Structure 1
Amino acid sequence: MASMTCKEKILSEDYMDLINYFILPEGSVQGNDDVFCYIPINERFLSIYYSRAVLPPLEVSSYFYRYIPRLYGLMDLFVPEALDRNFDPQPLIRSGISFVQKEPLNLTGRNVVLGFADTGIDYRNPVFRREDGSTRILAIWDQSVQTGTPPDGLIYGSEYTREQINEALQLDNPLELVPVTDDIGHGTAMASAAAGSALNGGIDFLGAAPDADIVVVKLKQAKQFLRDYYMTPPGVPAYGTNDIMLAVKYLSSFCIPFHRPAVICLGVGSSFGDHTGNSALSQYISTVGTQINQVVVVAGGNEGNSAHHFSGHIDGTGSVNVEIRVSEGTKGFLLEAWGSVPDFFSISVRSPGGEVIPPVSGRLGQSLEYTFVYEKTRIRLDYQPVEAETGKEVAVLRFENPTQGIWTVIVIREGGNGSGNFNMWLPIRQFINGTAEFLQPNPETTLTSPSFAQPPMAVTAYNSRNNSFYYNSGQGFGANGEIKPDLSAPGVDISVATGTIQGRTVVGTGTGTSLAAALTAGAAAQFMQWAVVEYNSPYAGGVSTRNYFLRGAARDAAYTYPSRQWGMGRLDMEGVFNWIAGIPP
């Protein structure tokens, strides 16, 4: 039998996607043999594809926690399929974006690349085209389509250039040549809010950076083995760490220092991890965000009101009962518990019927699989006493077919001289088939990963029509007290492109932190035009852009900053340039 190519391994369910922390020798190239192949991401990370036939089942006890890819979901709660509404510029006005688009600054993102890794893009829509009908998109990498030529060094998917897209737009059916679609609409909505063209002089539609060049990665759906591990409901969009990291690598490649800066916007998130920026994706975008002329903007997630975070404290060697309400028909879910060093803990579980799993200590990294007598539920508890990246204790509990009712996770502090604090997180709401909620949740520290990366800007959402914080938006700070989010931006009822009717853009509305991130990314493109393209601050990158935005943010006397909801305030581009000009607020 002929050996599989690396592309075939990447796409095959018989090969497991893993993130490997590895420093490649200088001059190393893509590896490939019968067991595995890999794609280098940078000097630290490999995207590796390994034969499942020679690997143990996907469990924390069999792998280091950090090697297991996460699943990321979309960070919008509502993007309609088709609503024909009038364009509303109010969020652009309230965030100062409209002010700097006009004379004398004329900041429209000219010669700046805005990059999106998401659900694709409707490249045929007028909001992504110039007045002459040509595309504003530099390139699209569709990871889900294998009929075209992949980007150099990335092996899978199909890349479509601006020339190919323009050629396709001349056809009666453009999809015959460039078969990129966005059936979900999330990526199209984000790109339109951030970079939509000025239609009818901005009356019919206008994005934050209407003259920016656009680059898009359509993420392929995660493999079934990973969805099975996380027990993700069928049909729910879910994306793996490997594909997202490679997408960021691709988007970053379009930056040309001192000539064409790049802003990368991510509207996906995960509620797992220690919430201090130690995930592989967080570390990688931190590296990208520190490079010259590159900015990364991340949605803060919509988990603030989901009841999916519990924060506990134990004095001495006491215990805390953590109650979880599970609805009928819930198929299963994962729960992560993180303890602070040097404390160490044990965990016990009590079912709604009263059966108890005896305490399992994390001291030796024990693992246990338990099937109840009077319940159909199976629970696997995996401990890692010293997680390699964070040094913290982590326990992963996997509930299969949980019985309806109140489940109790009993956390026992065995010893240590630390704070006695611990945290638990359930999956993002769309990743649970049913309902699982803490009875005593804490809405704080609910920003989704990779929001805690530094220096990328993490953005929460607010309603710009009444200045109220969006109640579903994630909140800070980090589990270690790190100041996140950075800013809040409009994210409620944002005008977005939802389709076309007879060649005309259909305008709908969307709500969620990914749209707040999209507007902030468009604002960052405006700033990078002023700083780099117009050579006012040619070395500007993620750190300086963030700090300018924080200095110019709008702040209310009623709040204390930094804020768990607002970060350092509301996005205000007029305030940014007033600060630069020395004009007092």
Structure 2
Amino acid sequence: MSDEEKYKIISNAYADFLIEYNNDVTRFAAFPNSSVNYINKKYAVIHMPVSNMTPDSISKYGYSALPGCYGLLSAPGYNSTGIDKIRNIPDLLLRGRGILIGFVDTGIEYTHPAFKNIDNTTRIISLWDQTIDSANHYPEGFFYGTEYNRNLINQAIKSDNPLAIVPSTDENGHGTMLAGVAAGTPVEEYGFIGVVPSADLVIVKLKPAKPYLKTFLAIPEEAICYQENDIILGVKYLTQVAERLKRPIAICIGLGSSGGDHGGSGMLSQYLSSICENPRTAVIVSAGNEGNTGHHYFGERKPNMNPDNVEFIVANDVSGFSMEFWGFLPIISG
């Protein structure tokens, strides 16, 4: 992708497709009038005019090419984990010193005392805000958003108007909460301390999902969700920072979706699995907090079985919804 084409990444007039091209660029021919943003030699993001999105787009490009949308998950139970007992064992000293903790989420309130050292400097190594467009201040090779390094964040913290220097903030609070629970600096007056208060932080603030995709998937306009391709690129950014600094990193993803096969064959799942093969890299994902809300159904069909009746309860004000069927090939005995 070139600088002349990068506007397509954030433009609502362009649709995004995730494809597995395996270093075979001939696959791009199936996407007319498009631009390619490479993730690696296996995966790429295709940006194509939204006008090309038609009801038969799934049959044209494949369902897996449509980025999934992921919402926020959070049900912290810090006290129930027993972390304090382990962390306070003198011989272990498990406070995260020398470790990077990366977050792909709603951003961070970088001026909060939970993310400062005792000398009032930041513990944030860098922050990539995908929502702030800038001419040439995006991370190298990513073509959108704005990257703020530790020096610039420290300048902002010391100023009377921090947002005039680093205008990134966390309007939702979800990313700030996760970062605080995982790695917050001790704040004695509140009796607060994160799990690894000596670790350094690397932050990605995700840009919201594009309107065309929410419409296509019948996701309410006001719903907070993020695209699979932006999450993947966020993880890629975190790993590149860790590689550059030659430091181990634990990546936290507090996002989830009811869609997908839940079997690890999706592109995001595969990408995260490949990342975990790297030395000194760990990925932590949320297990979901829907509990027994009944958003999923599993059934097994056998010969001479009566059909299952599955009840759908849809509110009167819901204009539409999307639903996925995932099946296994029948087992033929003989």
Partners in 2 of 1:25 and 1:234 — Cα distance? 36
Instruction: Report the number of matched residues.
Output: 325
Q: For 1:305, which of 292, 313, 319 is the aligned residue?
A: 292
Whether the 8 Å contact between 1:165 and 1:178 is mirrored in structure 2 is yes
1:15 equivalent in alignment to 2:14? yes
Partners in 2 of 1:57 and 1:177 — Cα distance? 45
What pairs with 1:90-105 in structure 2 (closer than 5 Å)? 90-91=79-80, 94-105=81-92
Q: Secondary structure of 2:250's partner?
A: strand
Deviation at 1:76, TM superposition (A): 2.2
1:61 equivalent in alignment to 2:48? no
What pairs with 1:122-271 in structure 2 (closer than 5 Å)? 122-147=109-134, 149-200=137-188, 204-256=191-243, 259-271=246-258
- Give aligned-pair identity as a percent: 38
Q: For 1:51, which of 49, 57, 82 is the aligned residue?
A: 49
Deviation at 1:112, TM superposition (A): 0.5
Structure with a larger share of its residues in helix: 2
What pairs with 1:473-488 in structure 2 (closer than 5 Å)? none
Q: For 1:331, which of 303, 312, 319 is the aligned residue?
A: 319
Partners in 1 of 2:112 and 2:276 — Cα distance? 30
Deviation at 1:48, TM superposition (A): 1.7
Structure 2 unaligned regions, length at least 5: 26-30
Partners in 1 of 2:243 and 2:87 — Cα distance? 24
> For each residue in 1:118-176, what CA deviation from the matched residue of structure 2 results, as whole angstroms up to 9, or x when unmatched?
00100000000000000000000000011361000000000000000001111111000
Whether the 8 Å contact between 2:134 and 2:144 is mirrored in structure 1 is no
Structure 1 unaligned regions, length at least 5: 27-32, 79-87, 343-415, 419-585
Letter in 2 for 1:240: Q
1:70 equivalent in alignment to 2:68? yes
Letter in 2 for 1:154: F
Q: Report the more deviating stretch, 189-198 or 102-111.
A: 102-111
Structure with a larger share of its residues in strand: 1
TM-score, normalization: structure 2?
A: 0.90
1:341 equivalent in alignment to 2:311? no
**CA gap 1:258/1:157 in 2 versus in 1, 3 angstroms:** closer
Deviation at 1:70, TM superposition (A): 0.6
Whether the 8 Å contact between 1:71 and 1:222 is mirrored in structure 2 is yes
Give the match for residue 114 of structure 1: 101
> Larger C-alpha radius of gyration, 1 or 2?
1
Q: Please give the root-mean-square deviation of Cα atoms over the aligned residues, in Å.
A: 2.5
Letter in 2 for 1:417: I
1:417 equivalent in alignment to 2:332? yes
Whether the 8 Å contact between 1:56 and 1:62 is mirrored in structure 2 is no
Deviation at 1:259, TM superposition (A): 4.6
Give the match for residue 265 of structure 2: 278
Letter in 2 for 1:15: Y
What pairs with 1:427-446 in structure 2 (closer than 5 Å)? none
4+ residue stretches of structure 1 with deviation over 4 A? none
> For each residue in 1:210-241, what CA deviation from the matched residue of structure 2 results, as whole angstroms up to 9, or x when unmatched?
01010000000010010001111122211001
Q: Secondary structure of 1:332's partner?
A: coil
Deviation at 1:61, TM superposition (A): 2.5
Deviation at 1:4, TM superposition (A): 8.7
Whether the 8 Å contact between 1:101 and 1:108 is mirrored in structure 2 is no
Partners in 2 of 1:283 and 1:333 — Cα distance? 27
Partners in 1 of 2:88 and 2:142 — Cα distance? 37
